[in-house]
Structure 1
Amino acid sequence: MSLILYGHHFSSYTQKVLVALYENALPFDFRCVGPDQPEHTQQWRQHAPLRKFPVLVDGARSVAETSIIIEYLQLHHAGPQRLIPDDPRAALDVRFMDRCFDLHVMDAAQHAVDGALSGDDRKRAEGLARSADKLERVYGWLEPQLAGHNWAVGNEFTLADCAAAPSLFYADWVHRIGDGYPTLRAYRARLLARASFARAVDEARYFRPYFPLGAPDRD
């Protein structure tokens, strides 16, 4: 039985897992969760009691939470691209950066999205301001952190880069990465050029008009 991934192409967390799957050319069946696919939504609910996606289904086992899904893939469906290093100290650095991109970039950008989705102008402005404050802080921290190497942790593409790709992609839409962060801007450009993430971005283009803040005419 092939792997099944329930999610949505425009979801940053779904894209994070898609990047990992594409990096190792793993065969899987993608099932989009949404109003146009009620049968997929019903199946997803059976595998996701917490009502979160993405969820990976491997036979009788359901795996939730993106970082855990990617680690699970390496344990049970390993490919040539090792996304978590074997060395425990190096793996700790990768996991740390993975959490930073999820918690301090992805989640920070979400404040603006949630504010826009509310339909309330005050909440929209508050969400944008909160996102800008948090993102500016993390951009400043990431700039020297990324200096001197190609990827998030050294020169090998890892779990951390799977997280960084969609988080920086959408964060830059919410609060532009300014010219004062050339290292971070170059890193985001390298992520967009990576075949695995470029594929995930292309698959989601159809949904850009639905971005609640208005998608920029780039990327």
Structure 2
Amino acid sequence: MQLALYGHPFSSYTQKVLIALYENSTPFDFRPIGPDSPAHAQEWLRRWPLRKFPLLVDGERDIAETSIIIEYLQLAHPGPVRLLPADPMAALDVRFLDRFFDLHVMNWVQHAVNGALSGDPARRKEGLALATEKLELAYAWLDPLMASRTWAAGAEFTLADCAAAPSLFYADWTSRISGAYPHLQAYRARLLARPSFARAVEDARPYRPLFPLGAPDRD
């Protein structure tokens, strides 16, 4: 039975898993969740009532949480691109960076988005201000790290880059990565040029008006 992925093309975490699937040309059935596909939403909620996507379905097995999904894909459906190194210490570095992008970048983007979605001007202002402060800290840490690296963990594209691509994509929309961080700017540009992420970005393009902070006319 072919893999099935429940999610939304504009969701950063759905994109994270899509990148991994596209990297290895893994066959799967994408089941978008939205008003045009109520049956998908019903089945998704039956399988995962915590209401978080994406959700990967492999036969009767349901796999939630993006990092776990990508590790599962490597174990159960491996391809030519190994997204977790075989060396345990190298894999630990990749997992750390994966957590960094999810927790210290994307988490603060979501904080700003939630403030904007509240409809409360005060919450919108607070959410954006705190997100900007926290993202600047993340940018300042990441920039020197990327000075001598092609990808997040070194020379190879990994799970960490699957997390970094949508995180930095939306973070730059939330609080622009300034010229003070040239290495991080260059890394974001490399991610956008990566065919797997470029495909995810293009698939999500029709949904840009949904970005509550206002999607910039770029990327």
Decide: shared fold, TM above 0.5: yes
User: What residue in structure 2 maps to residue 146 of structure 1?
Assistant: 146
Paired with 1:114 and 1:89, the residues of 2 have a C-alpha distance of 36
Paired with 1:145 and 1:27, the residues of 2 have a C-alpha distance of 34
Cα deviations across residues 191-211 of structure 1 (Å, max 9, x unaligned)?
000000000000000000111
**Residue 161 (structure 1) shift:** 0.1
The one-letter amino acid of 2:21's match is L
**Residue 115 (structure 1) shift:** 0.8
Paired with 1:26 and 1:115, the residues of 2 have a C-alpha distance of 36
Question: Aligned residue pairs: how many?
Answer: 219
User: What residue in structure 2 maps to residue 196 of structure 1?
Assistant: 196
- How large is the Cα RMSD of the aligned pairs? 0.5
Q: How does 1:158-197 map to 2 (within 5 A)?
A: 158-197=158-197
User: What residue in structure 2 maps to residue 74 of structure 1?
Assistant: 74
Q: How does 1:37-186 map to 2 (within 5 A)?
A: 37-186=37-186
Q: Secondary structure at the match of 2:148?
A: coil
Unpaired stretches in structure 2, ≥5 consecutive residues: none
Query: Quick one: percent identity of the two aligned structures?
Result: 71
Paired with 1:98 and 1:108, the residues of 2 have a C-alpha distance of 15
Paired with 2:47 and 2:148, the residues of 1 have a C-alpha distance of 42
The one-letter amino acid of 1:172's match is D
**Residue 49 (structure 1) shift:** 2.2
Unpaired stretches in structure 1, ≥5 consecutive residues: none
The one-letter amino acid of 1:70's match is I
Q: Secondary structure at the match of 2:5?
A: strand
Q: Secondary structure at the match of 1:62?
A: strand
The one-letter amino acid of 1:156's match is E
